Amino acid sequence: MEKEQFLITLGGRVRCRRCQAKAKNSGLQCLLPAITAKRVCRVHGGLSQGPITPEGKERCRAAKTIHGERTQEAIEQFRSKMLELQNIETLARSVGVIIGPKTKGRKQDEHL
């Protein structure tokens, strides 16, 4: 199916470029008008300019985020703290300080 290049809006009074993005699941073309001098609409990245300055580009490169939420260093720190907490809980259970169900969470390998 050919992508439509133009979109008629406001009851046929305005003719503008149509967003060229397509949906992954249905394959249909976006219904929004494209940003001026761009191929896509604001929803599909027409307004995004990304980092412009060298400092901004370096900060983006150094972040190394996954899904924009946490850095790899933060994930490793969280894992090590959770392992430490599990070891403390195991020790407390062996001494008899903690009685009851174990803390929910991912089970660690037996050899750790």
Q: What is the pLDDT of residues 79-94, one digit of tens each?
A: 999 889 888 888 888 8
The list of the chain residues with pLDDT below 70 reads 1, 64-68, 103-112
- Domain-wise residue ranges, the chain: 1-48, 69-95
Q: Which residues of 83-96 are buried (b: 16+ CB within 10 A; e: fewer)?
A: eeebeeeeeeeeee
